[in-house]
Structure 1
Amino acid sequence: MTLNTLKDVYHDQLQDLHSACKQSLEATNALGRAASDKELSEALIDGSNGIARGLDKLKSLCATHEIDPQGEHCKGMEGLVEEAQAHVLHADFGDDAARDAMIITQYQRMVHYALAGYGCLVAFANRLDLDEDGAILQAQLDNTYDGDRRMTDIAKGGVNQKAA
């Protein structure tokens, strides 16, 4: 697909973020199963639910624009998922709290990728006067920020202290 206009870029990035969220959903579920801290585990379950809602919204937006949500494969998120697997799921830990600290690290890296994606899409939608799209994407961006802040609070509230 040749990207000639901002709308082309917008469509491409809707597909890319759909792929990123799909990949991060599976990884987040795996991180949740690996977590030992109850609060962290619950936050990851909530994160998975939020990612699933975001996937539904992105799929709906793609349908509105008559584009296939499966049209892109996000290599950026692929790399972040590989990092999460290497640093959490395939790593040896002598301490559960250290693993939980690493889970937060890897999860937040994936979340920050989503924040960038949603932020760009909001800006594109607003510039293209796609007000409904912009509102949907802004809500997802806000929810993603909330999840990121929650992870920071969990880290500061005890996981990092236990890991130290």
Structure 2
Amino acid sequence: MTAKTVKDLFVHSLSDVYSAEKQLTKALPKMARASTNPELKALFEKHLEETHGQVARIDQVVESCGIKLKRIKCAAMEGLVEEGGEQIEEIEKGPVLDLALIGAAQKVEHYEIATYGTLAALAEKLGESAARKLLLDTLKEEKAADEKLTVLAQGTIVEEAMAQ
């Protein structure tokens, strides 16, 4: 990555998170299928819908800023998705896998929270108030998803896993 300006960094980071969200649209259905907990399955399905909206929101940011995304692959998300996939293959379906899926999903959410927070700050510094608002909307969704995952992990899933 050659970023010489804040705007270059903004474009690169936005391109990176666009790739991350696209990868997530492929991973979330697999996570939903692997889950045996109905609430967790529903959460993954709902977040898939939100993720499609987040991709569309990035398109709005691109349009409002008059920029063009770079064609890059988010290596961080690739690694997180791969790690989650390995857990699906290696852990028997049930509450222990559900806990592992929650952990994998929270790693993704924390990555996205950091990324969208940074992007919103960069948009503000660049005077891109419309883009900043869109990015903050996505940040709010990511934080809410993380909180819902925490609630699930602290609920009956962990008790069921401990009973195994």
**The TM-score by the shorter chain falls in which range?**
over 0.9
Runs of 4+ in 1 over 3 A off after TM superposition: 63-70
Deviations 1:113-140 (A, max 9, x none): 1111101101101111111111110011
Alignment correspondent of 2:137: 139
Alignment correspondent of 1:128: 126
C-alpha separation between the residues in 1 aligned to 2:34 and 2:27? 11
C-alpha separation between the residues in 1 aligned to 2:67 and 2:74? 16
Alignment correspondent of 1:35: 35
Q: Does the CA-based 8 Å contact 2:113-2:142 persist in structure 1?
A: yes
Aligned length: 162
Alignment correspondent of 1:49: 49
One-letter amino acid of the structure 2 residue matched with residue 132 of structure 1: A
TM-score by length of 1: 0.93
C-alpha separation between the residues in 2 aligned to 1:61 and 1:25? 19
Within 5 A, what are the aligned runs for 1:4-153?
A: 4-69=4-69, 71-88=71-88, 90-93=89-92, 96-153=94-151
* Deviation for aligned residue 1:19: 0.3
C-alpha separation between the residues in 1 aligned to 2:51 and 2:161? 27
* Deviation for aligned residue 1:85: 0.4
Go from structure 1 to structure 2 and tell me whether the alpha carbon gap of 1:145 and 1:83 turns closer, same or farther (over 3 Å shift): same
C-alpha separation between the residues in 1 aligned to 2:57 and 2:112? 14
In structure 1, the gaps of 5 or more residues are none
In structure 2, the gaps of 5 or more residues are none
One-letter amino acid of the structure 1 residue matched with residue 123 of structure 2: A
Q: Does the CA-based 8 Å contact 1:17-1:117 persist in structure 2?
A: yes
C-alpha separation between the residues in 2 aligned to 1:100 and 1:60? 34
Tell me the secondary structure at the aligned position of residue 144 of structure 1: helix
TM-score by length of 2: 0.93
Q: Over aligned residues, Cα RMSD in angstroms?
A: 1.4
One-letter amino acid of the structure 2 residue matched with residue 80 of structure 1: L
C-alpha separation between the residues in 2 aligned to 1:70 and 1:78? 17
C-alpha separation between the residues in 1 aligned to 2:63 and 2:71? 12
C-alpha separation between the residues in 2 aligned to 1:129 and 1:67? 14
C-alpha separation between the residues in 2 aligned to 1:68 and 1:158? 46
